[in-house]
Copies of this chain bind each other. A is one copy, B any other.
């Protein structure tokens, strides 16, 4: 078995792969993982490093990731509030599929771009 990957699986709504796809496919989640791979970070550091993310969305992303056991959230009861986020082992393991995707990207984006140009030239060019 496993000849067809997980085909029969992915067709079911709510299948495991779909769930992961939703995470991996989420821009902010990936970015957060990437940042946190370097070590524990505070909320504002995350917000600053990622760039272009609003507090609402960042919080949303962080909360979901926490719920999924991808990271831990530690609150320090200090006068200037401080909250630090850190990847769990599970979260760190995400770098494997992420790397696979990025590797594919690095290797084939040129081909994709070329195909796209070719297609655009043929379709939009002779219109």
Spell out A's residues near B (CB within 8 Å): 4-7, 9-11, 13, 16-22, 24-27, 30-31, 34-35, 37-38, 50-52, 66-70, 90, 93-106, 108-109, 111-112, 114-116, 118-120
Contact = CB atoms under 8 A, between A and B. Distances in A.
A118 to B, nearest CB: 8
Nearest to A21: B25
Main secondary structure, interface of A, reads helix
10 A-B pairs with least C-beta separation: A25-B25, A69-B115, A100-B100, A16-B109, A20-B105, A16-B105, A97-B104, A6-B102, A17-B105, A7-B34
B109 A20 contact: yes
Stoichiometry (number of copies): 2
26 contacts: A4-B34, A5-B95, A6-B106, A7-B35, A9-B102, A10-B31, A10-B102, A11-B31, A16-B105, A16-B106, A17-B105, A18-B27, A19-B105, A21-B101, A24-B25, A25-B26, A66-B119, A68-B116, A69-B112, A69-B116, A70-B115, A90-B108, A90-B111, A96-B100, A96-B104, A97-B100
